[in-house]
Amino acid sequence: IASIRRYQASRGRSPDLYWFNPDVELAANDINWKAPQRLEKLAADLEFAFALAAPSSDDLILLRNQPSDRHREALAHHNLTFPEVSPISELNHIRKNRKIRAEQPWGIPNPTLLSKNLGLELRGLLDDSISARICRNSEEIQAFIEESTHPNWLAKPLLSSAGRGLLKFTSDLIPSIKEDHLIEPWLNKEQEFSLLYQSNPSDQGGLRFLGICHQEVSHTGQWISSTSVPKPANGLPTEYSRLVANEVLPAAKKEVKNALSKLLESHNYHGPVCIDSFLHRTSEGLEWHQVSEVNARWSMGRLAHNLRLKLCPNRSLTLTTIPKDVPL
C-alpha cells in the first residue's frame, strides 16, 4: 500500500515522456551545447518541481537523481506523487524501446520559438504602442532610439532566460553588442505577472486560457517567485485590481488569446505558453503593457499553477527557491 502511494505508473494510454531541460535557450543557440556542471546541479535541484507538477500519473518522467522512498513518502502525505520515473541517461534507450505518445520536455530547442522575436511578432498582431526593435550593433540602436523620447532602455539577447545578458542603458550611453538584441524602453514596472495558456490542436480544443500568475523578479531580471491565485484580481491594491479585472482579464480571454492563437498556428506550435506582462506607471497613470515576452515552453508560473490545482485549488500558492542552508 505504501508503495502504491509513493509510485504511480501508466495504467491506460501510452505515456508522454517528460524531462527538465532549463538550459533550452542556450542549447537552441549552439548545436554543440553541453550544459556546465553548475547548470546541471541547478536542474537537479529544480527538476522535482517539474516532475510533480507537469506529468499525469499516466506519464513517464526522466530525472537526474531518483527520489528516495523516504522523500516520496513525505511528499505523498501532501498529495504529491511522482509518475513512473527513469534515469535521464536512459532517454535514447526509451526512445528506441518504449511506445511513447509524445515527448514533453521543459522546452524544445527551436531558436524561432524561443527567440524574443516571438513576443515582437505578437506585439505586432496586437498593435502594441510601445516601440521595440531588433538591433545588431550600436549604430542600429542609436538610429532606433533617436526616434523616441524614452531616456532609459533595455537590450535583451534574443535567446536568453531568467534575465541572463540583460543590459540596461541610457540614450547617451549606448552599449556595444556583437549579436542581435531586442531593444525596448525600460519602463517603471509595478506589478509583474504571466498570462498562462495551453496550445492544443484544434480537434483537442485549440488554445485555452488557464489564468494569471503573479511574478516576483529582481531588479536584474532574475526570477524570485511565482504566485498562482484562483482569482487574479483579489488581494491586489485597489488600482491594480481594477485594471486587472476590467482590462487584463477580458483581453487575455479574447483579443490577446486570438492574436496568440494566430501566432502559434503560424509556427505550428502546441504546448504550454506564457506571456510575460506587467503594469507600469506613466505620467498618465497606471497602464498595462500586454506583451513583454512570449515563452513557448514551460515556465515557473505554469508549474505554480499546476501545483496549486493539485494542492490547494481554492487558495493561492507561491513557488520559490530556498538555499539549502536556510532552515525551514
DSSP 211-257: EEEEEEE-TTS-EEEEEE-SSTTTTS-HHHHHHIIIIIHHHHHTHHH
Tell whether the model's pLDDT for residue 6 goes beyond 80: no
Provide the 10 A C-beta neighbour count for residue 70: 9
pLDDT band at 79 (very low <50, low <70, confident <90, very high): confident
**110 domain residue, yes or no:** no
Q: Please check the confidence at residue 1 and state whether its pLDDT lies above 60.
A: no
Inter-CA distances, 295 with 5, 172, 320, Å: 34, 31, 19
Number of domain units in the chain:
3
Same domain? For 191 and 181 the reply is no
Residue ending a domain, among 153, 185, 217, is 185
Mean pLDDT confidence for 8-12: 57
State whether 181 and 244 are in the same domain.
no
Q: Give the pLDDT confidence score for residue 8 in this predicted structure.
A: 55
> With contact defined as beta carbons under 8 Å apart, do 114 and 28 qualify?
yes
Which secondary structure element, helix H or strand E, spans residue 289, and what is its range? strand 285-295
**pLDDT tens-place string over residues 164-209:** 788 999 998 999 998 999 999 999 999 999 999 999 999 999 999 9
**Domain termination site, one of 159, 185, 211:** 185
Of 200, 198, 190, the C-alpha closest to 280 is: 190
Is position 73 within any domain?
A: yes
Same domain for 231 and 247: yes
| Residue 170 backbone phi and psi in degrees, to 5 | -105, 165
Domain of 178, in residue numbers: 133-185
Q: Is residue 124 part of a domain?
A: no
In terms of domains, do 141 and 252 share one? no
Say what percent of the chain tops pLDDT 70: 95
Please tell me which residue, 321 or 265, carries the higher pLDDT value. 265
Paired residues of 320 in beta bridges: 225
Indicate whether 174 and 191 sit together in one domain.
Answer: no
Provide the whole-model pTM.
Answer: 0.92
> What are the Cα distances from residue 111, in Å, to 155, 168, 295, 296?
18, 24, 12, 11
Within this chain, do residues 241 and 160 fall inside the same structural domain, yes or no?
A: no
179 with 202, same domain: the answer is no
In a domain, 166, yes or no: yes
Answer for the pair 181, 120: CB distance below 8 angstroms, yes or no: no
Residues 286 and 197 in one domain: yes
**pLDDT of 4:** 45
Q: Is there a single domain that holds both residue 148 and residue 218?
A: no
And the C-alpha cell for 160? Answer: 536568453
Average pLDDT across the chain, whole number: 91
